[in-house]
Amino acid sequence: MNWTMLISFFIILSNTITVIHGYVRGCYYTNWAQYREGEGKFLPENIPNGLCTHILYAFAKVDELGDSKAFEWNDEDSEWSKGMYSGVTKLKETNPELKILLSYGGYNFGSAIFTEIAKSAQKTERFIKSAIEFLRKNNFDGFDFDWEYPLGVAKEHAKLVEEFAANYWASKGMPKQKIIIGIPMYAQGWTLDNPSKTAIGAAASRPSSASKTNPAGGTASYWEICKYLKEGGKETVDREGVGVYMVKGDQWYGYDNEETIKIKMKWLKEKGYGGAFIWALDFDDFTGKSCGKGPYPLLNAINSELEGESEWTENPEITTEEPSITETSETEETEETTYDTDITEETEETEETTYDTDITEDQECPEPNGLFPHPTDCHLFIFCGNSNAYVKQCPANTFFNDAIKVCDHMTNAPDTCK
């Protein structure tokens, strides 16, 4: 089968993963989805009750010393309001079997700090102790270590696709029931060079246009795909590769729908793997208004194959303070792929590109809350929360696009930034 496989590394504080009802069904919750306007806004009360055995809260971070830190200004509780952590962990009150994990890292966090911690036994020990204290303080059951990437991605991409496939891990002795297969709730998109040539492998030289969930372009949520189909997009199922693609004008998107997900879940069961996890809850049609198939059609497809028909219910009496600041650069996040850090490979030495996401620099906030361009460096931006200014650096080969408030592809940068 030809689809992207996601691998993650979960650690539960009790040292065991117990799933009463069989297969793991892990669901990533993204703390920046709170900033979207309109139908894309996603809060803890939107998390479905009963469809996930594990919730993975994305993301937390760690500093250079190895100490755990919250990522968003409202993750933790404050004197005046409950934080997002509490909004999610509260779900265990109505579903005691649910496990809630805190995910460290992510694409925008980069690799530099994790690399430095891994080099130092002292920092590694400090990180482990800090993580356990931080998790217990905030009522999490464990954590997900999302290091992107321990190895150079570009030069090793072809090898990684093969080496980190599930059958590789199984062939090396890992019990299959501990291997969890990742399923994306979003589409990867491209702009076709020739709109009349739309088959798989057609030429495309740039990402797809901006979507509501990713203003920088290149991806779209499944609920957005459903809207594109209603607007005239044509969907084609690739039965050999077990995937779906849709074409609308010069826009080409590849993704999974309910049909292909069910096929993959049957494959998962036949192979004896332990379950599936999704990236991410806010990318499925969580309101049920876009696809016309009820809330969470993709997640329900997973559940119907792994556990029989599951019924989605809303979570009662969970309220979350709505922030006033706008979309953060984390919307560029795509699928989550994490790897074991103890891999030995013979590769050519290349210089690793790293960057610090936090810059020590004094800046003033133009407004109490929001994202603002840096006055002298287009690759930096200023995040303001409650009039506190934090200078952040965009990932490599991106710049801060003030018009859409994200770190955007350099192809869209003005001449003054190139």
The pLDDT value recorded for residue 146 is: 85
Per-residue pLDDT, 158? 42
pLDDT (0 to 100) of residue 149: 62
Looking at 235-244, 318-327, 358-367, which range is the least confident one?
A: 318-327
Residue 289 structure tokens: 């208004």
Q: How high is the pLDDT of residue 325? A: 34
Q: Greater confidence, 321 or 198?
A: 198
Stretch 312-336: mean pLDDT: 41
CATH 3.20.20.80 location in the chain = 10-184+257-332
- Average pLDDT of span 390-395: 83
Residue 237 confidence class, pLDDT cut points 50, 70, 90: very high
**Distances from the Cα of 111 to the Cαs of 9, 306, 329, 344, 394, in angstroms?**
16, 35, 17, 18, 13
According to the per-residue pLDDT averaged within each range, which of 30-34, 173-177, 240-244, 314-318 is highest? 30-34
**Catalytic site residues?**
148
pLDDT of residue 155: 41
Q: Assign 162 a pLDDT band (cuts: 50, 70, 90).
A: very low
DSSP, res 341: S
**pLDDT at residue 195 above 60?**
yes
Helical pair 112-119 and 121-137, crossing angle rounded to 10 deg: 120
What is the predicted pLDDT for the residue at 218? 94
If we measure between CA atoms, which residue out of 157, 159, 141, 233 comes closest to residue 189? 233
pLDDT at 165: 64
Q: What is the mean pLDDT of residues 36-59?
A: 95
> In the prediction, which pLDDT does 319 show?
42
Superfamily covering domain 10-184+257-332: Glycosidases (3.20.20.80)
Pairing mode, strands 142-146 and 99-105: parallel
**Of the given ranges (69-73, 96-100, 245-249, 365-369), which has the lowest mean pLDDT?**
365-369
**Confidence category of residue 10, pLDDT binned at 50, 70, 90:** low
Architecture of domain 186-255: Roll (3.10)
User: CB neighbours of 121 closer than 8 A, spacing ≥ 6?
Assistant: none
Find the mean pLDDT for residues 133-148.
Answer: 92
What is the reported pTM?
Answer: 0.72
Distance CA 391, CA 402 (A): 14
Q: Which residue has the higher pLDDT, 245 or 8?
A: 245
Within 10 angstroms of residue 130's Cβ, the number of other Cβ atoms is 18
The CATH 3.10.50.10 portion of the chain extends over: 186-255
Amino acid code (one letter) for 244? V
Q: What is the pLDDT of residue 274?
A: 94
* pLDDT at res. 109: 81
**Lowest-confidence pick of 69-83, 96-110, 181-195, 238-252:** 96-110
**Per-residue pLDDT at 47 exceeds 50:** yes
Q: Work out the pLDDT band at 293, boundaries 50, 70, 90.
A: very high
Q: What confidence score (pLDDT) does residue 150 get? A: 61
Contact by Cβ (8 Å): 56, 298: no
pLDDT at 360: 57
Per-residue b/e over 242-269, b at no fewer than 16 CB within 10 Å? bbbbbbbebbbbbbbbbebbbbbbeebe
Percent pLDDT > 90 in the chain is 56
Mean pLDDT computed over every residue of the chain: 81
